[in-house]
Amino acid sequence: MFFIDPSSHDIGRSPSSAPASFTPSVRWGIGIDADDFRLSPTASSDRFSFHLLRNRSSLIDGYWQLRSAIFCEEQHLFETSDLDELDERAYPIAAVHHGENHGGQVVGVVRIVEQSPRLWYGGRLGVHHAFRRHNQIGKGLIWKAVTTANGWGCDRFLATVQIQNVRFFQRLHWSSIAELEIQGIRHHLMEADLPYYLPSGERRPCSMQVV
């Protein structure tokens, strides 16, 4: 499952019909029942944990490496780097695996950004190719992203979702508010049901200097 941000001018090296604002999208979804989507209040499990990366985090190198592997090397959405101007103010989140063979490895990524006061978007959501059978990673990243922003005074949390994944997000308490076409692919602009994603107690960093 991936959120892809067509906000960069060179993505796909073709014009996009997406709105000028930051508009992440989902390329692949994994069928998850709504009943098993909720995690603990800290969005953690025995095998995976989900972390807001602060300045000098030991996980930040793994975060950037996985983003590059997914969006540059695998999906070829960017030629050399998927970093953009939003990373200067976005908050990175990483999923970490705690198994014997991959202990401490970053296996999932997402970023959240406040586009305007109290309006948040999620983007650059991706899961390591070897761990995509674990649907808990994708749902945990989404949960961590939305509950973190909600705890920081978010009024709306949006994402642009490819048409084949709309029902997936509807089951996870998202609603469609508009239809879009991005690079010839149908999308829905969708909004998370914030009362479902209870605010977390994650403290908001005063500044982000992770780029």
Report the chain (211 residues): mean pLDDT per 10 consecutive residues. Answer: 41 32 32 38 65 91 95 85 92 89 84 96 88 82 93 94 78 91 79 94 78 56
Residue 210 lies in a domain: no
Residue 142 lies in a domain: yes
Residue 202 lies in a domain: no
Residue 119 lies in a domain: yes
pLDDT at 157: 98
Residue 199 lies in a domain: no
Which domain range does residue 33 map to? 3-192
CATH number at residue 45: 3.40.630.30
pLDDT at 183: 60
Residues 6+ apart with CB under 8 A from 208: 55, 88, 89, 90, 91
pLDDT tens per residue across span 55-72: 889 999 999 999 999 989
pLDDT at 103: 67
DSSP letter for 150, please. Answer: H
**For residue 31, what are the β-bridge partners?**
none
pLDDT at 186: 83
Residue 207 lies in a domain: no
Domain count, the chain: 1
